[in-house]
Amino acid sequence: MNKLFSYGTLQLGQVQMDTFGRNLTGQKDILRKYKINKIKITDPKVIESSGTDEHPILEYTGNDKDFVEGTLYELTDEEILKADSYEVDDYKRCELKFESGQTGYVYLKS
């Protein structure tokens, strides 16, 4: 199983059902040295699923005082690819370490 940290719309039940066909279970975690900004989404399928054209996006600051709270989910290899399809080109998937000590994927500003 893969770990995926969500801090935005992938935490929404409707998005999870549309993307993975199930509701995900996970645990709360924190990512340090990042902050959340907003981007405008134009993909109609993503907007319909999330209910908004404004989505959060992470940007690296390097500042220990900056942090983002989210949920670390377990996904199969197939589900990770489905998450990649949901995220638009403004995002890139990277593997990082979280405050819990676990590592996992997260979508950052590309």
Q: Which tokens hold the place of 12? A: 């929404």
Q: Which residue has the tokens 């924190």?
A: 30
2-6 and 26-32 beta bridge pairing: unpaired
Whose CA is closest to 83, among 1, 4, 14, 25?
4
> What is the enclosing helix (H) or strand (E) of 82?
helix 77-86
Of the candidates 95, 94, 93, 90, the one whose C-alpha atom is nearest the C-alpha of residue 110 is 90
What does the pLDDT look like over 52-84, one tens digit per residue?
989 999 999 999 999 999 999 999 999 999 999
Question: What pLDDT is stored for residue 62 in this prediction?
Answer: 96
pTM for the full predicted model: 0.89
Distance CA 53, CA 42 (A): 7
DSSP output for 13-28 = HHHHHHHHSS---EEE
- pLDDT given for residue 88 in this prediction: 81
Domain covering 2-109 assigned CATH 3.10.490.10 in the classification: yes
